[in-house]
Structure 1
Amino acid sequence: MIIKKLQLHNFGVYAGDNEFIFEGNKPVVLIGGMNGRGKTTFLEAVLLALYGSNSFAYSESKQRSYIQYLRSFVNRGSDDQTCSVELEFEINNEIKENYIVRREWDAVSKRTKEQILVYKDGTYNEFLTNNWPMFVENILPSALSSFFFFDGEKIAELAVDNTNIQLKNSIRSMLGISVLDVLSNDILRNLKKVDKIGSEKKSVEEIQVLREEKESAIEALTTIDAEIEKMNQKLIKDNDSLEALHQLYTAKGGDAVEKRQETLKKRADLMAELSNVEDRLHELMADALPMLLVEDLVVEIKLQATDEHTDSIMQEAVLQLDNIFEDFAVEYLGDKKAGIDFIEYVKKHTEDNQIETVYGLSEQALFQTNNLVEGVLKNTADETKIIIKKKKKLVKQISEFDSYLMLDINDKELKNIHKKIKAAEQAIIDDQVKIAELEQRRGAANSRVMTATSEFGKYVEAYLSTAELKDSSDRIIKYSNIALNVIEKYRIELQKRKTNILAATITDCYLKLANKKNLIQTIVMDPESLDLRYLSENGAEVPKDSLSAGEQQLMVISILWALALCSKKKLPVIIDTPLSRLDSLHRTALITTYFPNAGEQTIILSTDSEIDAGYYQLMKENIGDEFTLNYDENSKSTSIERGYLIGAKL
């Protein structure tokens, strides 16, 4: 995502029409201005254009309502009391797409109403206009926006905060662990559809009981985690969340979408087609598809079993040599020593090269294994790819229709929101005592999960090693439980590996920027809690609160940089007041190392005391566009001029 233009009309200190046009092909955009000249207003304008009432700048403001927030931006020195912000940006995901989002409002009457218009590739788009919040959340969720658009002075506390839930949830989402939860739930739903019958029913029912005990333990742990999260959030006053709930309540009662019946019919047709596709996908999941998760292991089994079969034949042949030679010796009158030596050589060679029997498959089992590897798995994978591609297309089409239908009033949902509003209005009690109690309960619940998971896994392995599956239901249960075991192990290893990668990336970013490299040598992340620990060169933990304000800011920038690198998202970075707490060495590191590599586009909002003439020369080769914010004391307004801090002594 690259920002191409920001156009402001009577917005804050920007009286009349003002626009920033970004034409450079280098990564850094430098916007200079003294304090109070409109740098923070630039950041707020971008956030407002993208997110509207979901902007974190609004939630952090002192305005009591979104309407008051909009009215606060209308330039009071202008006769024209209308105000607008228009943002143009490009997204290049194999196909380059241009978007313009415009918000406009006025302060003429007491009832200010915001109007939003969205254009795609130069053409007005009604669907995006009506569903812009949903669309922008897919590009850059508002919960993550503060990690790409941030004030350098406000982020340092993240480096010492172990309880920052928003940051941890963002990391979990970035790690991609949630897709495994979806897969596990799909398999569990499929298991519930199976009506198990037959002589092995008792064993299967015992597996089901153990599985339900494990799921119950996990559900209890999840419930406790949710309660802990809720109590942590209650430590903060609920004014902002209450305002958001009021807005959501109002939004859910919007006008009905036109052509509802026609849309419902088209959607129903697509849902029927999707149901057929999913039924076929479930059939594949009930058959050999889960085996693709362990395809490498199956191939290994095939190779090992083939070697064992060959070795078995050789062993049988050796056993026959003595008898055959005795028959030969009766009729042969010559020297028999060479023959005896040869037999001994064959025996020794066979014994030396004998391999350990691991699987001991019969010829029929070996044939079935070869057929599984060379035929069934490949055909299943090919068909699954075709079905998944078709399913994605159908889901996308259904999602487009749902976007029109989602605006309908839902009484049940409104009642639920109303209950949340009432809950948010309750006074805050002594939450810290409750949190301590919940943490103790969580320890016990976590032990129960580990025990139940271990018992379930052991029983499933024992059952699968002896059970002879006789019908389709048996196969579904067997392979589904195999898949669930593999997914559980994979989940643990994946989160461990990915957190290790993220922590290593944070360490790498920090060491590139840090001045005192011997203070913190390694940064590690707990794969479960996602807490960060800073280790010195000798492995001792460095207390987070021992970091200076500048070091805290540098650490958070390293975290944000690493998150951007690991997320693979190509998004712009906007930094307001980036160097205020940093010494000269840290500033030089950021200017020469971080700014050119933070993203495809890095917009820096700076004063002359942060990026002076010396620092400007250091970063000039990476600057694509430069602007100066000039403030007129007479008109009390800011105008835009190209070039960095024109008139300043640089």
Structure 2
Amino acid sequence: MNNIQIFDIELKNYRQYRGIEEIDLATTPDKHINVIEGQNGSGKSNLLNAITLCFYDKEPHIDNQDNQGLGADPLVNLKELRQIDVGEAVRGYIEITLGKQEPQYVFTRKFRTAKVDEDEYSSVTDDLQLRQRFGPDWQNVDNPNIRLREILPTHVHQYFLFDGEQLDQFFEEGYTERVQDAVLDVSHIQLLERAVDHLKSVQKDLEKEASDVEGTPQDLHDEYEEAQETLEELEEEEKILEGNISDANEEIEGIDEELSDSTNPDVREKQQRRRYLNERLEDRKEELQNAREDAAVALARAGPVAYNKDALEFTLDRFREWETSGQEPPDIPEWWLEQLLEKGRCICGTDIETEQEKRRHLEEFKQTVAETATQSANGKRKVERALERADDMVDVAKERKGRVEDIRDDIDEINEELREISAELESKNIPDDVDVADLEKQRKRIDARIKDMREELGQLRGKIEQQSEEVEERRNKWKREVEKEKKHDQLLRKIRFVENARGKVESIETKILEQVRDETETSLEQYFNDLIWKDEHYDIELTEDYEVRVYGPSGEKKLGSLSAGERQVLALSFMSGLSKISGFSAPVVIDTPLGRISSKPKRRIAQNVPNYLENSQVTFLMTDEEYTSEVKAFLQNDVAHEYHLEYTDEVTKVTTE
């Protein structure tokens, strides 16, 4: 095993795990998969939480089922806490051993929970500790977080340690932002971003130094700096507004989730229909934009011909009259005149070899006749072609304009149905269920706020664009003034050097992001086709706008039309692709990898899982419904360790049976 793997996890008094539980996870290249199976509530998700708590001091995978409906229980096992008096505390720890061929690092985080009252507890965690192996000896290491960042930094850990069930929500509304953030995370461009910021700061200081005198340069620099400050304020407003829109969208997602959980089938059906309509609405809006562009191009082509049809027909008639009357330039072949010049004798018998003036006239005549005849013939053909194509071009323009109107009508119908769904949900009064009417009113208010903020954001971006131009204009004005004074030559050379360096770094940053996006697309398509259970190939595209498009044999499949299982496989493939291209050789731990996938597809996935991230240690935390006998049969030759979680009387034991 060339990648970093988890050799061992040791828990003491952590949540369901009372006393000390040790789990051996060491794998080999031939057997790189671990399976830990347990029912919901047995502490499966808390094993994933134990890893993130140890490394990063956080538990992002809290599951009420795993915590027996009590939400965020104290860190220490409840049975231990019930045995102490108020004011006393119980300690525990999580210890994880990492390494490649052999153990190299032991990360430890200790914690304690105090009993504040009979049913009230307070938990605190200590700082992360690290022991590292140097030869035969183990030594304590200062600043363990620095070493951890080399193995698995905080900003990418979610692509190695993730919850399979939560992946189903990854590609819901607003997913493109999540995809973009993920690609940025694994692209390692933070250093480049810091370099750009540093170069901006250096450039600013140099420009200020070049203007640090009385007179016009100083005045112009003050104006340039003032414009730059205004631009930065507008950009800060943009970030705040984008954050507010993102928060509002999350509120709507939360409301939609509550509505989807309603016990009333009509509410669930309408919520499902609304989700489909919203996805269709986004698709139709994109189609409308494309249709408008196509219609504009068709109109630009057809317009001049349609408006000038009478003039073109008149011109063609004139050409025909000239042909009939013989006024059109003579159709004398150029080759025939060329032969006369080669023989040196005109058709009239004149010797043009000795009569140079007459030879010159014949050459000029050849040139004039050829050009005039060609222009006349070409002009006539162009007019004829334009008139021949006029009706077709007008028909195309009408057809494309009609398509724009059809899409607009469809968008109007979708919006009307969405309004009807909202009105019906707002009128719902269901006893002993979620307050559908109140939730729908909240949703409408938030949705209206989002629309207002998006309009404001559009106006703000227009101002930013204008202000950017103003900044550039003022900077150029200042620069031209400074260049007049030779004493600033050296400073100006430094400024140009910094500008060029910044441009190069930004160019590298753009290329890296493009490369990571392409690699993500390739890995996503590979893993999806490996893991999907259908006997057909899917093409997957990750666009420049971080939109994921799935194309099957019958064309594009909208994400909204994918089943829950297909979406989960897509998200699982995406996360796996990111872990592969991130550059970190960390272990992969997945909780509930097959949670939303029906029995038949599970067999297909299980067949392909052994080749999945084959160079990495992969640990699956599965329920008994996932780890069926068929799945087990497919995996058995590649499984290094198989454990079962037995939960009894608030305590989980890890067994090998």
- Class of the TM-score when normalised by the shorter of the 2 chains: 0.5 to 0.7
| In 2: Cα distance, 1:134 partner to 1:237 partner | 36
Describe the SS at the equivalent of 1:24: coil
Q: CA deviation at 1:29?
A: 0.8
1:192 aligned residue (204, 217, 236): 204
Identify if the C-alpha distance between structure 1 residues 492 and 60 changes in structure 2 by more than 3 Å, giving closer, same or farther. farther
Contact 2:35–2:622 under 8 Å retained in 1 = yes
| In 1: Cα distance, 2:485 partner to 2:185 partner | 39
Q: CA deviation at 1:86?
A: 1.9
Give, as a single letter, the amino acid of the residue that structure 1 aligns with 2:513. Answer: Q
Q: CA deviation at 1:625?
A: 1.5
Give, as a single letter, the amino acid of the residue that structure 2 aligns with 1:641. Answer: T
| In 2: Cα distance, 1:452 partner to 1:520 partner | 48
Identify if the C-alpha distance between structure 1 residues 18 and 176 changes in structure 2 by more than 3 Å, giving closer, same or farther. closer
Q: CA deviation at 1:535?
A: 4.1
1:20 paired to 2:23 = yes
Residue of structure 1 equivalent to 2:164:
152
2:455 aligned residue (437, 447, 455): 437
Q: CA deviation at 1:551?
A: 0.5
Identify if the C-alpha distance between structure 1 residues 550 and 449 changes in structure 2 by more than 3 Å, giving closer, same or farther. farther
Q: CA deviation at 1:24?
A: 3.1
Q: CA deviation at 1:88?
A: 1.7
Residue of structure 1 equivalent to 2:617:
601
Give, as a single letter, the amino acid of the residue that structure 1 aligns with 2:105. Answer: N
1:105 paired to 2:124 = no
Describe the SS at the equivalent of 1:49: helix
Contact 2:541–2:549 under 8 Å retained in 1 = yes
Give, as a single letter, the amino acid of the residue that structure 2 aligns with 1:191. Answer: Q
| In 2: Cα distance, 1:440 partner to 1:517 partner | 45
1:612 aligned residue (628, 638, 650): 628
Contact 1:596–1:622 under 8 Å retained in 2 = no
Q: CA deviation at 1:220?
A: 2.6
Give, as a single letter, the amino acid of the residue that structure 2 aligns with 1:120. Answer: R
Per-residue CA deviations over 1:491-519 (Å, capped at 9, x if unaligned) read: 44443343233223322322222344758
Contact 1:534–1:542 under 8 Å retained in 2 = yes
Identify if the C-alpha distance between structure 1 residues 144 and 91 changes in structure 2 by more than 3 Å, giving closer, same or farther. same
Identify if the C-alpha distance between structure 1 residues 605 and 214 changes in structure 2 by more than 3 Å, giving closer, same or farther. same
Per-residue CA deviations over 1:403-452 (Å, capped at 9, x if unaligned) read: xxxxxxxxxxxxxxxxxxxxxxxx99964244323332354246447857
Identify if the C-alpha distance between structure 1 residues 622 and 192 changes in structure 2 by more than 3 Å, giving closer, same or farther. same
Q: Which aligned pairs between 1:448-527 and structure 2 lie closer than 5 A?
A: 448=466, 471-516=489-534, 520-526=538-544
Q: CA deviation at 1:44?
A: 2.6
Q: Which aligned pairs between 1:549-568 and structure 2 lie closer than 5 A?
A: 549-568=564-583
Give, as a single letter, the amino acid of the residue that structure 2 aligns with 1:23. Answer: A
5+ long unaligned stretches in structure 1: 241-426
Residue of structure 2 equivalent to 1:396:
none
Per-residue CA deviations over 1:327-375 (Å, capped at 9, x if unaligned) read: xxxxxxxxxxxxxxxxxxxxxxxxxxxxxxxxxxxxxxxxxxxxxxxxx
1:120 aligned residue (115, 123, 131): 131
Residue of structure 1 equivalent to 2:94:
86
1:576 paired to 2:591 = yes
Contact 1:15–1:77 under 8 Å retained in 2 = no
Contact 1:30–1:625 under 8 Å retained in 2 = yes
| In 1: Cα distance, 2:473 partner to 2:530 partner | 47
Residue of structure 2 equivalent to 1:230:
244
Residue of structure 1 equivalent to 2:270:
none
Give, as a single letter, the amino acid of the residue that structure 1 aligns with 2:628. Answer: D
| In 2: Cα distance, 1:466 partner to 1:496 partner | 41
Describe the SS at the equivalent of 1:8: strand
1:74 paired to 2:92 = no
Per-residue CA deviations over 1:506-541 (Å, capped at 9, x if unaligned) read: 223222223447584122232xx4333334568x64
Give, as a single letter, the amino acid of the residue that structure 2 aligns with 1:15. Answer: R
| In 1: Cα distance, 2:634 partner to 2:621 partner | 17
Residue of structure 1 equivalent to 2:637:
621
Residue of structure 2 equivalent to 1:173:
185
Describe the SS at the equivalent of 2:210: coil
Q: Which aligned pairs between 1:413-432 and structure 2 lie closer than 5 A?
A: 431-432=449-450
Give, as a single letter, the amino acid of the residue that structure 1 aligns with 2:548. Answer: L
Identify if the C-alpha distance between structure 1 residues 118 and 493 changes in structure 2 by more than 3 Å, giving closer, same or farther. closer
5+ long unaligned stretches in structure 2: 255-444
2:547 aligned residue (531, 535, 544): 531
Q: CA deviation at 1:40?
A: 2.3
Structure 1 vs Structure 2 CA RMSD: 4.7
| In 2: Cα distance, 1:61 partner to 1:630 partner | 15
Give, as a single letter, the amino acid of the residue that structure 1 aligns with 2:54. Answer: A
| In 2: Cα distance, 1:456 partner to 1:490 partner | 28
Per-residue CA deviations over 1:272-301 (Å, capped at 9, x if unaligned) read: xxxxxxxxxxxxxxxxxxxxxxxxxxxxxx
* TM-score, reference length from structure 2: 0.56
2:654 aligned residue (633, 640, 646): 640
| In 2: Cα distance, 1:434 partner to 1:135 partner | 46
Identify if the C-alpha distance between structure 1 residues 577 and 214 changes in structure 2 by more than 3 Å, giving closer, same or farther. same
* TM-score, reference length from structure 1: 0.57
Identify if the C-alpha distance between structure 1 residues 464 and 30 changes in structure 2 by more than 3 Å, giving closer, same or farther. farther
Q: CA deviation at 1:453?
A: 9.2
| In 1: Cα distance, 2:602 partner to 2:474 partner | 55
Q: CA deviation at 1:90?
A: 1.8
Per-residue CA deviations over 1:82-105 (Å, capped at 9, x if unaligned) read: 35232222256x997412313232
| Structure 1, 448-457 or 21-30: larger mean CA deviation | 448-457
| In 2: Cα distance, 1:461 partner to 1:490 partner | 27
Q: Greater Rg, structure 1 or structure 2?
A: 2
Describe the SS at the equivalent of 1:628: strand
